[in-house]
Amino acid sequence: MRYLVLGAIDGIISAGTLSASLILRGGAVSLDFALSLAVVVASINSLTVFVAEFSHQLREVREVSYKVSLREEAPRWTLLHRRALFSTFRSALSNFAASLLGAVSVLVPASFAPHATFVAIAAAVLAASAAVAGGSPREFLEFAAMAGAAIGVGLAVGLAFPVIS
């Protein structure tokens, strides 16, 4: 579940930051650009998850292998390794799908109407906040405030250091 939430938020924040900073500087987001950027954002996010999660999983496998064998020698590739790889791959795929959905939810509206970007960002933040909060109004507000602040900081950085012109 954490990689679904992380992916959606990464997609919303990354795509929202890039598209909003581009639009505020007078640029436009075409549908082709929106879809390409969504795939790039989702790919980067899922690859980051894959590397981080797999290194964590391998550390766990080494720890379990050592405890089972009570030796320090490096074990061969085992069923635990394969399960760790499969679990990591599944987490990365979940993150990719959620990140792509988060990015597309912001970028596609931006490609049709530049001012729709800000409405799409707000709607995506509210939807993600509602999903994460699980019915708790306090958690909804906390999460929405954190996501809004992250997008605000990202937007400030995007305007100060324009990457896309």
User: Mind listing the pLDDT tens digit for each residue in 40-86?
Assistant: 999 999 999 999 999 988 888 888 877 777 555 555 777 778 888 89
Is residue 3 within 8 Å of residue 98, measured between CB atoms?
yes
pLDDT exceeds cutoff 70 at 148 = yes
H/E element, 50: helix 31-69
Give the residue, 135 or 163, on which the prediction is more confident.
Answer: 135
Listing DSSP states for 84-108 in one string gives HHHHHHHHHHHHHHHHHHHHHHHHH
pLDDT in the model for residue 75: 59
Q: In the predicted model, what is the mean pLDDT of residues 111-137?
A: 88
Question: How many C-beta atoms surround the C-beta of residue 154 within 10 A?
Answer: 18
Question: How many C-beta atoms surround the C-beta of residue 141 within 10 A?
Answer: 12
pLDDT in the model for residue 134: 85
Confidence (pTM) = 0.77
Q: In the predicted model, what is the mean pLDDT of residues 136-163?
A: 87
Please name the residue that has the structure tokens 């988060």: 102
pLDDT exceeds cutoff 60 at 23 = yes
